[in-house]
Amino acid sequence: MIRRLFPKRTARTLLWLFISLITLVALLYVWTNWSGARRWAAAHALVQREGETFDFHALLPQTPPEAQNLLAIEPLRGIAAVVEGDASKGEPAARRKALEALKWTGTAPAAQGVALSQATDFRDWVKFLRDSKYLDLPAAPEPAARDVLAALDARHPLLKQISDAVTTRPLAMFTPGLRERPLPELLISMPLPHYTAATGLARALGLRARAALAAGDSTEAAHSILALHQMALAAGQEPLLIGLLVGHSFESQALAPLWQGLKDRAFTPEDLQRLQSAFSPADQTARAMLQAMRGEMAAGCNALDLVQQTASGRRSMDEMLSTALSSSSHTTSRVLIRLVPGGLFDHWKSLLVELEMQQLILPLKKDGLHAALTSSEKIIDDLKQRSNLLRHPDYIVARLLLPSVTQVSCNALLIDARRRQVITALALERFFVKNARYPAALTELVPDYLPAIPADPCSAQPLRYRTTPAGRYALWSVAFDGKDDSGKVTPDSKTSPKLTKREYLGDWTWTYDPVK
């Protein structure tokens, strides 16, 4: 029967083709393993040569003494812990659940102060708090701001407790610190429930700062802003990309009431000095970004190492890894992974390290955030040019993990510019308190109010500055395009400037004259 279907010559040809195919596949496996091992050795050498590490544990910050840790006060102590692998168990879960009461529902009043120099009337907040039933406030007569602050502290005493603690606890870290937490073997599966719990606390602290300003209590407002800033630093020092983004969110929450207080000249000289010291030095954002990129590289290589070990049979396919691979069957996952040459994992790891080291970590270390943004765009261009994964199989993992780096860099650059503007704005207000005028140039602030003029992270030149006819000033960064537009902010058609979009054209300006 077979002879009828396949003549002798045809059978030989098919057999030869089959043997050739098997040989080619075997040679491809051998070449992939050989070239992958060489490439991974080169990537390892690059990391060692630049003083970096794949060891995630070596990146973990030291946990501060409990008596100095703002986030170790009783209601917050231990909120980063997970009991028996279940985030809903034990005392830490109960503390996180208590923080959920700080969240509100509905759309809060827009805070365009920093972006558009438009102050939000506190009466809009009073209406929102009453209508959303966040606070039990009477409709008439409308409560005074001091009554709103008292109602807020009465319902959520944690807000005043953490605000008061900033004067005696200068450091902040979520507890237990990463050094004390049992980290999973697969680092990307690390539970981080404290970030979600702390989000409501951050927003409520921003609200408390606004209420204190409206009530004329600048010191209480400054304390709440300082607590927010400390929370941002705590999230940013963890070597995690999500920690960096959460820190940016917390910092934005702090900037809105800070701008409002400076606009109203509400802060005392002591408040101004304390706030300026907290926001210095100016490179806090760049250091947090570098920490996050180092952690991302270590965690990415950790995940690929575990999958590679599973593919080679050196470890079994466990539930954790199967879930991470989004597979419904351990058997299916095991079979599919075993078909991948071990050298391909080396290529994936190597490319990830090459891109993150050369386009993110090294530019950050040498030239700062703007250089990292420019380099991250090269990563995106590189990924686009190699979008054909059959021709460039070593780009599969990089395409999954790296497309968001440009937006992360954009967010970090804006936050960095704002922090530098904050430091300068606080020094300007201190100068005004003493001299009843603003300086004609920022050089007048040095050295009594600033050790040096903060540099614009987008140009490496000093921040731009001028006084305005309204008796205030404009302080600006040239933003992404590097072009000095004399402080002009360019809102889009919805009256909200897309300041973090790479295509944004205009400056990032700190001023108190409304943007037209």
- pLDDT at position 496 over 90: no
Q: Which two structure tokens, joined as six digits, stand for 39?
A: 């490439």
What does the pLDDT average to over 15-19?
Answer: 68
User: What amino acid occupies position 150?
Assistant: A
User: What amino acid occupies position 454?
Assistant: P
CA gap 423, 276 in Å, rounded: 5
pLDDT of residue 392: 86
Residue 149, H or E segment: helix 145-155
Count other C-beta atoms under 10 Å from residue 117's C-beta: 20
CA distances from 138 to 71, 133, 191 (A): 34, 11, 42
pLDDT of residue 332: 47
| More confident of the two residues 234 and 316 | 234
User: What amino acid occupies position 458?
Assistant: C
**DSSP per-residue letters across 365-416:** HHH-HHHHHHHHHHHHHHHHHT--TTT-GGGHHHHHHSTTHHHHHHHHHHHH
Which residues does residue 465 pair with via DSSP β-bridges, in sequence order?
Answer: 475
Residue 53, H or E segment: none
Q: What is the pLDDT of residues 69-119, one digit of tens each?
A: 999 999 999 999 999 989 999 999 999 999 999 999 889 998 778 888 888
Q: Please, which pLDDT band fits residue 327 given cuts at 50, 70 and 90?
A: very low
What does the pLDDT average to over 258-272?
Answer: 97
Mean pLDDT taken over the chain = 89
Residue 511, H or E segment: strand 508-511
What does the pLDDT average to over 445-451?
Answer: 97
Q: Please, which pLDDT band fits residue 364 given cuts at 50, 70 and 90?
A: very high
Q: Please, which pLDDT band fits residue 333 given cuts at 50, 70 and 90?
A: very low
Q: What is the pLDDT of residues 173-192, one digit of tens each?
A: 999 999 999 999 999 999 99
- pLDDT at position 325 over 60: no
> What is the dihedral sign for C-alpha 296, 297, 299, 304?
positive
Q: Kindly report which listed range (241-250, 328-337, 357-366) carries the lowest average pLDDT score.
A: 328-337
- pLDDT at position 331 over 70: no
CA gap 280, 277 in Å, rounded: 5
Residue 60, H or E segment: none
Preceding amide of 447 cis, omega within 30: yes
pLDDT of residue 341: 76
Q: pTM for this structure?
A: 0.90
Assess contact for 131 and 104: CB atoms under 8 A: no
CA gap 408, 405 in Å, rounded: 5
**Percentage of the chain modeled with pLDDT above 90:** 68
| More confident of the two residues 330 and 428 | 428
Q: Please, which pLDDT band fits residue 334 given cuts at 50, 70 and 90?
A: low
- pLDDT at position 62 over 90: yes
Radius of gyration, CA atoms only, the chain: 28
CA gap 358, 363 in Å, rounded: 7
Count other C-beta atoms under 10 Å from residue 514's C-beta: 12
User: What amino acid occupies position 99?
Assistant: L
- From the list 394, 390, 385, the residue with the least C-alpha distance to 348 is 394
Backbone φ and ψ of 344, nearest 5°: -65, -35
Residues 433, 435, 438, 440, Cα dihedral to 10°: -160
Tell me which range, 211-225, 322-336, 401-415, is most confidently predicted by mean pLDDT: 211-225
Q: Please, which pLDDT band fits residue 319 given cuts at 50, 70 and 90?
A: low
